[in-house]
Amino acid sequence: MRVDVVDALKKCAEALQHGNPRLANTEMGRVIHLAEEETSAATRRLIGYFAQALACRAYGLHSKYFSFPSPDWKKWMCDGYNLFSTVGRSISDVIKGKCKVHVIELVKHMDGYKQWASILRGVDDWGDLTHLRLSFLVQEKVEISKQSEEELIRCGMASLWL
């Protein structure tokens, strides 16, 4: 993604965070214009995902993608991979002191959410997480087997599958 698109997305998010809908609208217009100039269909689609997430945030709508509020985080904590546990400290530094944090992660397949179980194991020293929201955009269409559906229910994520 080009730097000017990322800059416009960040400015739009900051405007929403600071309660400035006029500036957010201006920056969203810039994002749309820049997306139209993009030659790669995949990049246009990715820009669209971020723009849609910002629009949902602006209007208080929930995304059609996987998304859940953090007060239920203990329900969906299940055994994941330890591969990403080292990034927990960096995420902790970003989250501390913020009133709201929304993480949007692009994952290749349904199991991509499991890394967050490892990352959130160190949650005790992060403080209050009721302001943390995680959303997942899944790249590949997935068919959920009965076994996978049961695992989602066990982890408390059944409500995420829309």
The pLDDT of residue 32 is 87
According to the per-residue pLDDT averaged within each range, which of 23-27, 83-87, 133-137 is highest? 23-27
Mean pLDDT lowest among 60-74, 81-95, 118-132: 60-74
pTM of the shown model: 0.41
Is 50 exceeded by the pLDDT of residue 72?
no
How are beta strands 66-69 and 101-107 bridged, if at all?
unpaired
Cα separation, 137 vs 46, in Å, equals 10
Q: Percent of the chain, pLDDT > 90?
A: 0
Q: Which is it for the CA torsion 45, 51, 54, 55, positive or negative?
A: negative
Non-local CB neighbours of 59 within 8 Å, separated by 6+ positions: none
Question: Side chain identity at 46, as an amino acid letter?
Answer: L
User: Model confidence over 34-58: pLDDT tens digits?
Assistant: 888 888 888 888 888 888 888 877 7
d(CA 155, CA 76): 4
